[in-house]
Amino acid sequence: MVVKSEIIPLENLALNSYSFRIPKTYHGKTENEIIEYLLLEASIIELMLAIGENGFFAGEQLLVVKIPNSKKYKVVEGNRRLTSLKLLQDPNITKIQHSKVKKVMDFYLMKITSIKNIRKQCLL
């Protein structure tokens, strides 16, 4: 197993619907459905505010694995942080709590396009 840190664009990162923190009723659901669940149940607005105010803390890196035959990586650890970053990048990816997400965006006027030092775990 090789573990290394690198910069990965947000569009190449996918949420993990099979995370043990996601209810089984959401396993296999689309990314938008997972984002909506997390918005309603996982304090995403508060996390967006913290990231907007303090930036993305490199000490709490995302742990990801490469999706075979793809340029994408699936998050093993960090669904909430990735959801927050995706919403900060594009508040229109969901319809629920849109006004709250938009207020965070308007307040920080930021657009995040990549995350520094994302920890990528690849099995060789």
pLDDT tens digits along 94-114? 888 888 888 887 777 655 555
The DSSP output letter for 47 is H
- Number of compact structural domains in the chain: 1
Lowest mean pLDDT among 52-61, 84-93, 111-120: 111-120
- CATH number, domain with residue 10: 3.90.1530
Domain that holds residue 84: 2-122
- Give the pLDDT score at 15: 97
Asked whether residue 115 carries a pLDDT value surpassing 60, the answer given is: no
Average pLDDT value for the chain = 84
Distance CA 70, CA 84 (A): 23
Give strand pairing partners of 120.
Answer: 4, 64
What values do phi and psi take at 96, rounded to 5? Answer: -80, 150
% of the chain residues with pLDDT over 90? 48
pLDDT tens-digit map of 15-41: 999 999 899 999 999 999 999 999 999
The DSSP output letter for 94 is -
